[in-house]
Amino acid sequence: MRLDKFLKVSRIIKRRTVAKEIADKGRIKINNKLAKSSSNVEVGDHLEINFGNKQLTVRINEIKETTKKDEAKNMFSVVEEKYINSDN
pLDDT tens for 19-41 read 999 999 999 999 999 999 999 99
Average confidence (pLDDT) over 58-75:
94
pLDDT at 87: 57
pTM of structure: 0.89
C-beta separation of 12 from 49 below 8 A: yes
Q: Are 15 and 77 in contact (CB under 8 A)?
A: no
Domains of the chain: 3-83 (3.10.290.10)
Instruction: Please answer whether residues 19 and 4 qualify as being in contact, where contact means their C-beta atoms are separated by less than 8 angstroms.
Output: yes
Percent of the chain with pLDDT over 70: 97
